[in-house]
Structures are given as C-alpha cells and as structure tokens.
Amino acid sequence: MGRIGETFKRLRNQGKKALITYIMAGDPDLSATEALISTIEQAGGDILELGVPFSDPVADGPAIQRASERALQSKTTLRKVLALVKKARKDGAAIPVIIMTYYNIIFQYGIARFSKDAASSGVDGAIIPDLPPEEAADFIKYARSSGLDTIFLLAPTSTGERIKRIASSSTGFIYYVSMTGITGARLRNLSEIREKIPGIRQHTDLPVAVGFGISNEDDAKRIAKWADGVIIGSALVKLIEANRGRRLLLPKVAGFIRAMKGAIG
C-alpha cells in the first residue's frame, strides 16, 4: 500500500475524513507552488493534487482555466513539476502527491518514462480526466509496475457496468465527480451525491472521494458524512488567484485549509 492508501487507512482508524486539495503547479510560478505545498501540509491537508497545465483543459471551468494560463505563462512543464516534487520530498514533505493533468501531456512525455520518473520523484498517483479505463491499458500497466496509483473518475452519469469497470481499474481511491459539469461549477444537488455513493461502494472497498464544485464548509461537511474524502480545487485556486504575489497568500491558504479540515472532521 502506498502513501495514499495509508493516509486513508490512518484517517479511517481515527474516524476522520480526508481533505484533498488541488492546486495548479506553476501558478503563478513554481517557487510559489513549493511554498504552498508545505503550507497545505502543515495546515492539515491530507492529500495534494498537483495540476500540470494543458493548453486546452476541457474538463475545467474558468478558475482552473485561468490558473492553467498563468502556469503556462511561467513556463511550467511536467518535467519541472516532477523536479519540484522531488525537491519537496527531500525537504521533508510527507503529504501524498497526485499529478493531475490531461493525457496529451503524459503521452508526449512518454507513459513508461512518466511512470518511472514520477514514482522516483516521490509522486504517489495520477489522475487523467480525459483518459477513461478503455484507453488506459498502457498507463495502468506502467503505473502499476512503478507503484503509482491510478485514480479514475466516476460521474453521476456512470452506469453500473461502468462503475464496476472503473472500480476495478482504480487504486488509491475513486474520484466521484459531484455533478454533470466542469470544475468549479455551482453545486446544486447534494442529495444526488448521497444517493450515488452506496452504489459505488457495492463494487469496491476503495475509499471514495468527492470533488467538483465544493467551495464552502457547509457543503464539505455534508459530503464528508457520506464520502471518505472531500476534494477542494477551484475554491482554493481562486483564493490563490486573488492573493498571488501578496504576503498574505500563505496565511490565507493556511486559514482556508484549517477551516475546511475542521468542517469535514
């Protein structure tokens, strides 16, 4: 079991839920990202998703689109992000780190090479929103052999058959997309999440984390009752956007993480 599995296990034993946070690497630059990683870990973030920018992020809403543009402006590449993780690990970062990016970025880097380099840099898993299990045979093969977790997404529209297939392709946890929509959209119907999670658990013992559109403590608290983890992306990315380049950035992020962690328990 890797860092991700161990984190969920530890939290489960403590009766707690995982706070999974997403930030875009290189937004606004990689040295800010380095500081943010340690701030998030110290403030109580349990797992970190590190976005690698892509020119055409079809699954993302405006907040993460803008973050991608800033990260591309600062010339952020997958190679540099892996080097950053390696450095953070050397400096003592223990938080599980997941690379989240679009498939073409990994495809151009090379799937085998990515799996090897990511694992040796201290990355624990990968989430690729535009890579369904049907197309992921190579990715799964190389990730498994390097010990990287392959986290696939489930959506409200996924059928029972797809839930089965995605559950059997996933390791680490399952990422349940809270709604039909893009990242950062407004979450309207929480009861659909509550109804869907038992159907997922029928097919898997993996932890189920819920993301997309979770922006406040109330929603996070309610979702944490049903899920094993809550994923916060756009809300944090917006906070970083509003405070980038300011001395208040890290304290604000730390306060936000503490509040969210407090809410989900």
Partner 1 sequence: MLPDSSGHFGIYGGKFVPETLMPALAELEEVYSKAKADPSFKEEFEYYLTKYVGRPTPLYFAGRLTKHLKGARIYLKREDLCHTGAHKINNTIGQAILTKRMGKHRVIAETGAGQHGVATATVAAMFGLECEIYMGTEDMARQSLNVFRMKLLGARVTPVDHGSRTLKDAINEAMRDWTTHVRTTHYVLGSVLGAHPYPMMVRDFQSVIGREARGQIFEAEGRLPDCLVACVGGGSNAIGLFYPFMDDPGVRMVGVEAGGLGIRTGRHAARFATGSAGIFQGTKTYLLQDRDGQVMVTHSVSAGLDYSAVGPEHSYYKDLKRVDYTYVTDKEALKAFSLLSEIEGIMPALESAHAIAYTMKLAPSLPGDRVIIVNLSGRGDKDVQHVSEIIGDR
Closer residue to partner 1 (CB): 41 or 49: 49
- The yes or no reply on residue 132 touching partner 1 (CB under 8 A) is yes
Q: Please pick, from the candidates 39, 156, 164, 252, the single residue that binds partner 1 as defined by CB under 8 A.
A: 156
**To the nearest whole angstrom, how small is the minimum distance from the Cβ of residue 174 to partner 1?**
11
CB of 205 to partner 1, least distance (A): 20
CB 265 within 8 A of CB 245: no
Of the ranges 30-38, 141-149, 154-162, 228-236, which one interacts with partner 1 (CB under 8 A)?
154-162
Is 130 a binding residue for partner 1 by CB under 8 A? The answer is yes
Distances from the Cα of 257 to the Cαs of 6, 12, 143, 262, in angstroms?
21, 20, 30, 8
Encoded tokens for 44: 């109580």
Q: Does 38 bind partner 1 (CB under 8 A)?
A: no
Contacting residue, 98, 153, 220, 240, with partner 1 by CB under 8 A: 153
* 162 is an interface residue for partner 1 by CB under 8 A: yes
| Total site size for partner 1, rule CB under 8 A | 41
Catalytic annotation, pick one of 27, 41, 60, 124:
60
Beta carbons of 101 and 77 less than 8 angstroms apart: no
Tokens, residue 156:
């409200």
Nearest distance, CB of residue 31 and partner 1, angstroms: 20
Does residue 60 carry a catalytic annotation? yes
Of 105 and 264, nearer to partner 1 (C-beta) is 105
Q: And the tokens for 57?
A: 């992020």
60-82 core/surface letters (b: 16 or more CB in 10 A; e: else): bbebbbbbbebbbebebbbeebb
204 counts as binding partner 1 under rule CB under 8 A: no
Residues 52-71 interacting with partner 1 (rule: CB under 8 A): 54-59, 61, 65, 69
* Site for partner 1, residues 78 to 107, rule: CB under 8 A: 78, 102-107
Token pair of 5, please? 């599995």
| Gap between the Cα atoms of 104 and 116, Å rounded | 17
Choosing from 27, 41, 46, 49, the catalytic residue is: 49
The span from the CA of 200 to the CA of 164, in Å, is 8
Among 1, 31, 73, 108, binds partner 1 (CB under 8 A): 108
Site stretch for partner 1 (CB under 8 A), options 14-22, 34-42, 151-159, 248-256? 151-159
* Chain residues in the site for partner 1 (CB under 8 A): 54-59, 61, 65, 69, 72, 77-78, 102-109, 129-132, 134-135, 152-159, 162, 166, 177, 180-182, 185
Active site members: 49, 60
